[in-house]
Amino acid sequence: MERRIEHYGSSQKILLVGEGDFSFSVCLARAFRRATNMVATSLDSRESLREKHWSCASHLNQLKQRGCLVLHDVDVHDMDQHYILRRMKFDVIIFNFPHAGHYPGLRESHHQLIEMHKQLLSGFFASARVMLRFGGEVHVTARDDYPYNTWDVEELAAEEGLILTERVWFDKSDYPGYHNKRGGGINSNKKFPLRDSYTFKFMINY
Ligand SMILES: C[S@@+](CC[C@H](N)C(=O)[O-])C[C@H]1O[C@@H](n2cnc3c(N)ncnc32)[C@H](O)[C@@H]1O
């Protein structure tokens, strides 16, 4: 029997990238009961993840118990070359609240930081595209207010051959247990305001 939560189902092969404390992955895994259909990844190594997010230890245990493959040190720029991932194809690839990091003196509206965010997304779209099964989708959840809307997510995806199929309001309460994390800087484990957030869904433009 297929189990579902929002856009996601237990019959889909799902890749999650750029996870923070892995609470979003756990939320899906709980909804599916078994998580053998999921691969959950972080850019951080297991050690630095523990320093950033004390809450991740129990999440990683829960994922393991439910049969989820968890990988660390996965960079979205070259994840399609990763020694395990390169052999896999996915129905859905999820990147929630991509962010290139926090740097002293660089506000979110600074053009240099915006350029870094855009490069992160372009790299992600380029490698995600080749990891999709036929009919698969790439989901990016991001804020759509200023200055985040200047990233122009739709255009970046189009440059990598992906077209926007839907833009759906993101409500955190739809994902019980999910804690959005800043993921960088001294306040890594803190959450950030989820104003005007949407899940942007993309497919290959055949
Ligand atoms: C704002 S945090 C969001 C974390 C998590 N997805 C969430 O929703 O709580 C941004 C995340 O992007 C990740 N990230 C930044 N650059 C990345 C890259 N090149 N490859 C993979 N993840 C990256 C960071 O490690 C961080 O966890």
Report the alpha-carbon distance of residue 21 to residue 97 in Å, rounded: 13
The overall pTM is greater than 0.95:
yes
Pocket test for ligand 1, best of 14, 15, 17, 19 (most atoms within 8 A of CB): 19
**What structural domains does the chain harbor?**
4-204 (3.40.50.150)
Pocket test for ligand 1, best of 28, 43, 85, 172 (most atoms within 8 A of CB): 43
Q: 108-159: per-residue pLDDT in tens?
A: 999 999 999 999 999 999 999 999 999 999 999 999 999 999 999 999 999 9
C-alpha of residue 116 to centroid of ligand 1, in Å: 13
C-alpha of residue 200 to centroid of ligand 1, in Å: 16
C-alpha of residue 1 to centroid of ligand 1, in Å: 32
B/e letters for 18-50, b = 16+ CB within 10 Å, e = fewer, are bbbbbbbbbbbbebbeebebbbbbbbbeeeebe
Residue 55: what pLDDT?
A: 81
| Helices (H), ranges, the chain | 23-32, 46-52, 56-65, 111-129, 153-159
In three-state secondary structure terms, 7 is coil
**Ligand 1: does its nearest atom lie under 6 Å from the Cβ of 108?**
no
What token pair was written down for 2?
Answer: 């297929």
* Sign of the alpha-carbon torsion through 24, 27, 84, 160: negative
**Ligand 1: does its nearest atom lie under 6 Å from the Cβ of 175?**
no
C-alpha of residue 44 to centroid of ligand 1, in Å: 9
Q: 97-108: per-residue pLDDT in tens?
A: 999 998 888 999
User: Cα-flanking dihedrals φ and ψ of residue 172, to 5°?
Assistant: -55, -30
More confidently predicted of 105 and 6: 6
**Ligand 1: does its nearest atom lie under 6 Å from the Cβ of 75?**
yes
Report the alpha-carbon distance of residue 37 to residue 14 in Å, rounded: 6
pLDDT at 181 over 90: no
